[in-house]
């Protein structure tokens, strides 16, 4: 499929969900997504080099910058319809949200997404100052924003790291009927059955054997509980990690809680794995926010294609290993770039094959 044939398909598909945007705005959006695919880079100059349009490079850059200045390119009214397309094939009994924070240039990004097969698909995010940390109210507002977009699932759960360790956060999850698994700092104090309080960091954890404790209470001031605790040794960071959970502290919730690490893979895909986000030097948070919208659309598209390849069989066209070695995101990205070069019709879509 040639570029003149492929680009209109990329242009027309989002129009089905993005009726609130003008045609010119959707066209600029499609240019951005196409440029990200061709360039595997999110800096404006690299994306401009990959665009399938005429004109000088300066003119192409101006067009891309105009797209990032579009005030209508925001998460809630814009990205929400795509979110509904993404989850229309969801048939699993459980839906696990993951909340975490990462640094990005002039700001920090707090993101919430859905854990799927080793990755966390982005739903929504908020930007903070470069030295800021999110509080309970910001995290709660972020989770509330995405609730209308989510599929119906009998079991709902949420995972968070130390950013979400507040007692209010865990009590809210219980109020909403969600299971939770929340990282705790070593200084957090807990009360055991004997009634004594001690630091989580004082637990003696073996490197190959997690420690499980049931019916504990957290923090001397608020005595939140009963909750269950899982303490384990992080081989990568060479430190103890503790998690408070509403589920029984056993090996099964321990494995479930490790889904949270998928958001690190998503952040890695945003960086060296696909977008090279760390090389972006946009000067203000508004344009960074809109660039995240574009990157999230690309992420959903490439993940959709990767899952389609795993389901239908031709993964080996882009992954030489007998067993799976690449993420669905990376397989989808590599296949689409190969399709551009040799001609198979591009696969379009956003729905997640589970």
DSSP 3-state assignment of 165?
coil
CB 75 within 8 A of CB 149: no
Q: 94-265 belongs to which CATH class?
A: alpha beta
Neighbours of 107 (CB within 10 A): 18
> Distance (Å, rounded) from C-alpha 143 to C-alpha 162?
17
| pTM, full prediction | 0.84
Closest to 103 in 3D by CA, of 267, 250, 275? 267
What is the per-residue pLDDT across 223-267, written as a single tens digit (0 to 9) for each?
Answer: 787 889 888 888 777 888 888 888 888 887 777 777 777 777 787
Does 245 sit behind a cis peptide bond, omega within 30 degrees of 0 on the bond before it? no
What is the per-residue pLDDT across 165-193, written as a single tens digit (0 to 9) for each?
Answer: 678 888 888 888 888 888 888 888 888 77
pLDDT tens across the length of the chain (354 residues): 344 445 545 555 544 445 456 777 777 888 888 889 888 888 889 999 988 888 899 999 999 988 888 776 666 655 667 777 777 777 788 888 888 888 776 778 888 888 888 888 888 888 887 776 777 788 888 888 888 777 776 688 888 876 666 788 888 888 888 888 888 888 888 887 778 888 888 888 887 888 888 988 888 887 787 889 888 888 777 888 888 888 888 887 777 777 777 777 787 777 766 788 777 777 777 888 888 888 888 888 888 888 888 888 777 777 777 777 778 888 888 888 888 888 767 788 888 876
- Give the rounded distance of the alpha carbon of 21 from its chain centre: 24
Sorted by where each begins, the domain ranges of the chain are 3-73+297-342, 94-265
> Distance (Å, rounded) from C-alpha 342 to C-alpha 339?
5
How is the beta sheet containing 239-245 ordered, strand by strand?
119-128, 107-116, 94-104, 155-160, 179-184, 239-245, 224-234, 211-218, 189-191, 197-199
């Amino acid at each position: 499929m040639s570029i003149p044939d492929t680009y209109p398909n990329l242009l027309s598909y989002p129009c089905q969900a993005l009726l609130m945007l003008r045609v010119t705005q959707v066209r600029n959006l499609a240019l951005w997504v196409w440029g990200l695919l061709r360039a595997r880079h999110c800096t404006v100059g690299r994306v401009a080099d990959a665009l399938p349009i005429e004109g000088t490079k300066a003119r192409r850059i101006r067009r891309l910058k105009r797209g990032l200045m579009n005030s209508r390119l925001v998460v809630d009214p814009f990205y929400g319809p795509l979110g509904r397309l993404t989850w229309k094939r969801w048939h699993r009994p459980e839906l696990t949200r993951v909340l975490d924070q990462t640094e990005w240039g002039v700001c920090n990004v707090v993101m919430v997404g859905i854990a799927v097969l080793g990755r966390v698909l982005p739903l929504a995010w908020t930007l903070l100052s470069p030295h800021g940390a999110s509080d309970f109210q910001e995290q709660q507002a972020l989770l509330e924003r995405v609730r209308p977009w989510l599929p119906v699932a009998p079991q709902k759960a949420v995972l968070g790291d130390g950013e979400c360790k507040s007692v209010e956060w865990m009590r809210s999850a219980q109020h909403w009927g969600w299971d939770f698994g929340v990282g705790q700092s070593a200084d957090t104090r807990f009360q055991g059955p004997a009634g004594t309080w001690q630091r989580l960091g004082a637990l003696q954890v073996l490197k190959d054997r997690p420690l499980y404790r049931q019916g504990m209470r957290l923090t001397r001031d608020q005595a939140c509980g009963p909750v269950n605790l899982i303490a384990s040794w992080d081989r990568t960071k060479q430190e103890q990690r503790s998690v408070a959970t509403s589920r029984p502290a056993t090996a099964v919730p321990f494995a479930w809680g490790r889904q949270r690490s998928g958001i690190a893979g998503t952040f890695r895909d945003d960086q060296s794995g696909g977008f090279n986000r760390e090389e972006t030097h946009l000067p203000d948070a508004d344009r960074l926010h809109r660039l995240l919208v574009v990157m999230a659309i690309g992420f959903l598209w490439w993940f959709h294609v990767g899952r389609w390849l795993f389901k239908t069989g031709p993964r080996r066209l882009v992954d030489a290993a007998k067993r799976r070695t690449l993420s669905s995101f990376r397989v989808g990205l590599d296949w689409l770039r190969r399709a551009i070069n040799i001609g198979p019709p591009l696969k379009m879509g956003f729905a997640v094959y589970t």
